[in-house]
Chain A
Amino acid sequence: MVRKKSGFTLVELLVVIAIIGVLIALLLPAVQQAREAARRMSCTNNLKQLILGLHNYHDTHLKFPPGMIYRDPLPGTTATKRTPFCIHLYPYIEQRAAYDLFDHNTSWHEGGANHKTVRTTPVPAWQCPSDRDAVILDTAALWGDPGASIKGNYGLNWGRNTFIDQGEKSPFNNLFGANFRDINDGTTNTLAMMEMLKPASEAKEYRAWIWNDEPDAYCLMTRVGPNSGANDLTDLCIHEPGRLPCTGLGTTAPAKLNASVASRSMHPGGVQVSLCDGSVRFISETIQLTTWQNLSSMAGGEVVSEF
């Protein structure tokens, strides 16, 4: 009887391992892309929730909420009050409890423990899962207790040049939120909200700070295209090449009013935006700049080509 050798030879084992290795190598990028596609869909849903919230606000108040209330003088005093955009949307995105804690006669960074609770309440609808997690901590290296706050990934369409010079009117400005009848270009051809990226928690930066009424916090300009390599003009600047490039203008007016922040995202190839008609679109970063700028004006009278 011939004894048959049992088991595998070394070469056979190596071949099998090599095949499995190659298959995994082929599969892994596909899995990563599927994960990113899922995150992007979740992000689309967030934008949809916010634009629906905006529409519900419009149904109630017959106009969009004001882009911000930037140092509005309190009647009969020399004091000024600061209110960001986001709080107006809270009742319409299932944050009624936080909204009820907010005192509208006080600036967002004042108002003690109540306001701090409101500012630090997580709002998942404002977070894109493709971006890093980041908040504003209440550390002395940042702004201390009055600063503690969440950040967010969705900002407002603020026009095409700078904070103070919109170029053509957009649906949002200081003390101004458009009525649908103001949007002569058509709600389908006008941007409402765009994506933005969060600086790291420890960065002393205003960008993506949805609770702050600073010119570079959540006001997004179409001066340059989505995900542009060109530097944002910001008040405070922690330059992150390839992600959040910037040039600091300083925090004193009037210099800081020239702030101009571009829409950015971690999605490959572009950013997601919501339009005033309630739709959410993916905009390629190779969009013609003129088309991108025409989308940001609400009554510019431009013919918007396909995008």
Chain B
Amino acid sequence: MSKSLLFFGGLFLLVAAFSAGCSTAPPSDRLEIEGSVTLDGAPLQTGAITFIPLYQGQAVGTTIDAGKYKIDSQEGPIPGEYKVEIDSTHPTGKTTQDSLGNGTDEEYVNLVPAKYNRKSTLTVLFQRDGGDSNFALSSK
């Protein structure tokens, strides 16, 4: 009996030794960011937000849901300055012929003006201790 106990103990130690080093991810300076996006005061119901680094780092982005967005620290940005691109498309209710002439596709319109996406001048500075990452857009 004591022999098998010894055996189980040894086995446990072996497994523990093998799985050591699997547990902790390398430290990262990525930040968790979240915030709200409004257009003319009303929350943007759907859409996408993309942060494109002006200097260092990777582009990050996510979907906007009911005026809110959140990126966790696994995928988040490193501190620095980013250009912000926000898109929110919405079906107009009209349909158009699809590109191969077989059926129809819904027509979409981008609610967010180009100054916040393709020709974006919107920037944000993410600091190590967090910053203002709420965006109040105006369609004017």
Contacts and interface: CB of A to CB of B under 8 A. Distances in A.
Interface of A: 11-12, 15, 18-19, 22, 26, 109, 140, 142-147, 161-162, 165, 212, 214, 223-225, 228-231, 233, 236, 239, 241, 245, 247-252, 255, 258, 285-290
Contact of A286 (B4, B58, B98, B102): B58
A224 B110 contact: no
A257 to B, nearest CB: 10
B11 A19 contact: yes
A252 B24 CA distance: 48
Interface residues of B, number: 43
Given A22-B11, A146-B102, A247-B87, A162 B118 contact: yes
A250 B75 contact: no
Leading 4 A-B pairs by shortest Cβ distance: A230-B61, A250-B108, A231-B48, A224-B59
Contact of B18 (A26, A140, A144, A229): A26
A138 to B, nearest CB: 10
Contacts of A255: 108-110
B63 A248 contact: no
Contacts of B88: 247
Interface stretch (B34-42, B49-57, B124-132): B49-57
Contact of A144 (B14, B51, B56, B102): B102
Contacts of A285: 58
B58 A228 contact: yes
A236 B105 contact: yes
Contact of B102 (A143, A230, A287): A143
A223 B59 contact: yes
B105 A289 contact: no
Interface centre among A161, A228, A241, A247, by most B CB within 10 Å? Answer: A247
B25 interface: no
Contact of B89 (A109, A162, A247, A289): A247
Contacts of A22: 11, 14-15
A286 B77 CA distance: 11
A225 B63 CA distance: 17
A140 B50 contact: no
